[in-house]
Amino acid sequence: MMPHIQLTALAICALLIACAIPARADVAGDTSRIVGTWKLVSVVYQDVATGERSMPLGEHPVGYQLATAAGRWIAIVNGEGRTPPTNDAERSKTLLSMIAYTGRWRVEGDKVVTRVEAAWQPAWVGTDQIRQFTFDGDKLILASPPQPHPNLLGKMVRLFVTWERDPN
């Protein structure tokens, strides 16, 4: 009778341990779903201090993101209504209405991590840009942790970027 009790106790312990360990994402499956060309749908900034959400790049920003199976990530985002600058002040404003970077990417659980090699803002070069990802049909939604944003003079924000798979 004793071995039966020990076996039952062991089974219960194993079940409790299995329930306590968080489920691991399907990294290979998620990676293959992320690979491809994505067209920008929206960019929302959330002020960490106030929770206020805004769309400083407009309601219809333009951009593309490419994630290759070989591990290259390229993203370029332009604010809505950009026009060619005609002087230095406008040139500075134009720089603030875009985001562009590239680097090597990988999936870690429910996060995509890009080690930035080149960017529109030098502050991002050499950093890991971490984005939690979710899928909603043919959309890829990326959410950043709170971070200082170079276009906002280091103001702490979260970014919520929605991409739609480009069928072309």
pLDDT of residue 4: 52
Chain centre distance of CA 3? 51
> Dihedral sign, CA of 98, 114, 131, 28?
positive
> Is residue 14's pLDDT more than 90?
no
| pTM of the full structure | 0.81
- Candidates 77, 40, 79, 39; CA nearest to 56 is 79
Which value, in Å, is the radius of gyration of the alpha carbons in the chain? 21
* Number of neighbours of residue 129 by Cβ within 10 angstroms: 21
Cβ atoms 62, 83 nearer than 8 A: no
User: Of all residues in the chain, what percent carry a pLDDT higher than 70?
Assistant: 85
Give alpha helix (H) positions in 25-165: 27-34, 88-95
Mean pLDDT along residues 56-65:
96
pLDDT of residue 150: 84
Which residues are 165's β-sheet partners? 38
pLDDT of residue 27: 75
Selected residue with higher pLDDT from 24 and 122: 122
The tokens for 91 are 């040139």
- The architecture in CATH of the region 25-165 reads Beta Barrel (2.40)
